[in-house]
Amino acid sequence: MQATEKLVEAGEFSVNYATAGSGDTMLLLHGSDKRESWRAWEPMLPLGDARSLIIPDLIGYGKSSVPMETPDYRVQAHAMRDFLDRLSVRSADLVGAGWGGQVAIELALSWPEGVRSMTLISSAYDKSQLKPLQKLRKPTLIVYAEDDMVTQLKAGYLLRDAIGVSRLEVLSPVARDPSQEFTMSHRLQKFRTGEILQLVRHFLSDPYALVAEPPELENELRGLATRKEDEKDASTGTP
């Protein structure tokens, strides 16, 4: 599937973005690596079979405005809201990878009426976002790799517990896979394209029906990574 690249003025910024597909709107937000742009999502363009994809370069990235200092996630979320308003988008499914996930979370918190669902791939987050997430109640798919090198699996469980109506999917190790040139967590959509496409498509088919783990696994899964991380910290003396 081919994407069409465009540039639009939104608020105080110029936003470069790509579009592909048709259907309900899906906004995809890339990570924080300075080399990233909307093209980080090219492996996920097949989602355009069922969604109208809008894939911007975040502010300070790619061909979007590049201010002297890259805006933080709050400013990015505000800019994305202005951007969607400029495109007359009234509702969207949000997908964020790495830092883009943190921006997606902030956008959802500030625009709950416009967010249908979220997909967070190796997402970063700010601790201040966790408590408000408990009231958001938007179906969320959370995807991490077992051996994530940047945002640890512990974060996936913390996000899952905070959001509540969510489902955590843990993929097999990536960094130890010799067939992959793994560098950053927010490239997971590239290294595990087939698996993530399948997960996202299944999730979007009926988000509210797929956000709960089987009850018999709840006690086993909830907080497992957190406990392992605490045990690791205790053994190494990490405060």
CATH number at residue 151: 3.40.50.1820
| pLDDT recorded at residue 212 | 64
Is pLDDT at 132 greater than 80 in this prediction?
yes
Residue 15 lies in a domain: yes
| pLDDT recorded at residue 209 | 86
Specify which of 27-36, 106-115, 148-157 reaches the highest per-range mean pLDDT.
106-115
Residue 195 lies in a domain: yes
Residue 24 lies in a domain: yes
Position 147 confidence tier, pLDDT thresholds 50, 70, 90: confident
The secondary element (H helix, E strand) that includes residue 14 is: strand 13-21
| pLDDT recorded at residue 53 | 98
Three-state DSSP class for 52? strand
User: What is the pTM for the complete model shown?
Assistant: 0.85
Domain count across the chain: 1
Among 35-39, 113-117, 118-122, 180-184, name the one with the lowest average pLDDT: 180-184
Do 97 and 123 contact (CB within 8 A), yes or no?
yes
Percent of the chain topping pLDDT 90: 66
Residue 225 lies in a domain: no
Is pLDDT at 217 greater than 80 in this prediction?
no
Range of the domain at 43: 4-214
| pLDDT recorded at residue 28 | 98
Residue 220 lies in a domain: no
Is pLDDT at 218 greater than 70 in this prediction?
no
Cα 75 from chain centroid (whole Å): 17
Is pLDDT at 182 greater than 90 in this prediction?
no
Residue 184 lies in a domain: yes
What does the mean pLDDT of the chain come to?
A: 86
Is pLDDT at 226 greater than 70 in this prediction?
no
User: Where is pLDDT greater, at 84 or 164?
Assistant: 84
**CB contact burial 72-101 (16+ within 10 A = b; e otherwise):** ebbbbbbbbbbbbeebeeeebbbbbbbbbb
Residue 102 lies in a domain: yes
| pLDDT recorded at residue 222 | 47
Quote the CA–CA distance of 209 and 24 in Å, as a whole number.
19
Residue 119 lies in a domain: yes
| pLDDT recorded at residue 175 | 65
pLDDT 10s digits, 148-158: 666 678 889 89
